[in-house]
Amino acid sequence: MPAAILLAAGMGTRMRSALPKAMHPLGGRPMLRHLLAAVEQVFDRIVVVVGPGMEGLAKIAAPHDVVVQHERLGTAHAARMAAPLLADYAGEVAVLYADNPLITAATMRRLLQAPADIALLAMRPADAAKYGRVVSEGARVLRVVEWADASEAERAIGLCNAGVIRAPAGRLFPWLAAVGNANAAGEYYLPDVISLAVAEGAHCAAVEAPEAELRGINSRAELALAEGELQAALRATALAGGVTMVAPETVFLHHDTVLEQDTLVEPHVVFGPGVRVESGALIRAFSHLEGCVVRRDAIIGPYARLRPGADVGQGAHVGNFVELKATTLGAGAKANHLAYLGDASVGAGSNIGAGTITCNYDGVNKHRTEIGARSFIGSNTALVAPVRVGDGALIAAGSTITEDVPDNTLALARGRQVNKPGRGFKGKT
């Protein structure tokens, strides 16, 4: 049974952030959690190495074992921190980096299955930049040379190290313990394990994978590049699943977005966490959705906002500049223009007029509004919660409703209009 050590102790100085590097989000979840989602599909035992004061990162790593690297002396030193937790482990061990969060489970399996004593992941990036170079002879890897220590000939090599290695536990930890720090940075480099293994006669192999999958993230610019790669992958998955996107490059998805087949998504739509859209729904342009469910054949937007707890029923309409929060909109109900519905339930077939708001907050507590089926709420109505509007009720436009309205009742709650002849506007226009 394979085990994995995830190195997440880096502060990410080039991020220019107080947040640990592995906590920066991709697709709406931290880099470490992205990597864990793939690792958990392949490895039976996982140990995460964090730095001191990274309690938040340790919580993200739960329920897996966490160990602290109190002194940041390099990647080989960080991997050694996990040795006591895997002292009785006899299987294969892979060492991965939290700032390489897009490695797939399939690539990890290929790494484990490589016919070699020790294997590493490698790539051929378009811009090799300052990646370490993989020096090989035929199919056998001889060593990995960090950019700072490489010769000009070695820097010309196109095959670059992604940092991930795999070896049997019984051989990996002795090699880690033997790594020295005689290099430009004075650190204990994980790739030096390769040279030690080869010196013992071990066969080392490189497993290649795409740059988009193995690219490291050390700066905000690289984070943005990785986000672009992830979004492209999420869109491709949605399209392959039968979703239509008019302009895919303008649609932004969360890692857990669920779009059923025959959903149509117009340009410039943002999906936050926890969104599920059922078959046949139409999400129109410039809408923002999070924490919500959109049922079959519903129409959302354009310019609509669905906040957490929104549940839009089958065939219901949420139109332009309408906001829903913790609100259920029944089947066939409509709120087509300029409305706010918060902490509310709207029955099937009801119509919410333009400018309607549910006044759900009294400054201390939130209160609910209940609107029955087949009701008509006139424009510019204020529903002061807690309040209930019955089935088939009609609320006159411009009303402020503070009391329950029975079924099949007309309610009017507005000031009486008074006209004063001859008292019109006298100023200059």
**What backbone phi and psi angles, to 5 degrees, belong to 2?**
-80, 150
- Cα dihedral 26, 31, 34, 38 sign: positive
Tokens standing for residue 115: 């016919």
Tokens standing for residue 354: 């333009």
What does DSSP assign to residue 89?
-
Q: Quote the CA–CA distance of 37 and 14 in Å, as a whole number.
A: 26
Tokens standing for residue 278: 């059922």
Tokens standing for residue 303: 């310019």
95 with 164: CB under 8 angstroms? Answer: yes
Q: Quote the CA–CA distance of 275 and 312 in Å, as a whole number.
A: 12
> Of 166, 79, 163, 160, which Cα lies nearest the Cα of 117?
166
- Cα dihedral 38, 20, 179, 124 sign: positive
Tokens standing for residue 136: 């090989």
Q: Quote the CA–CA distance of 295 and 278 in Å, as a whole number.
A: 5
Calculate the alpha carbon distances from 303 to 35, 319, 323, 404 in Å: 34, 7, 9, 31
Q: What is the DSSP code string of 96-138?
A: EETT-TT--HHHHHHHHHSSSSEEEEEE--SS-TTPPEEEEET
> Of 227, 213, 209, 164, which Cα lies nearest the Cα of 30?
227
Q: Quote the CA–CA distance of 27 and 270 in Å, as a whole number.
A: 11
- Cα dihedral 111, 116, 118, 122 sign: negative
320 with 337: CB under 8 angstroms? Answer: yes
**What backbone phi and psi angles, to 5 degrees, belong to 14?**
-70, -10
Q: Quote the CA–CA distance of 148 and 403 in Å, as a whole number.
A: 75
- Catalytic residues, by residue number, are 337
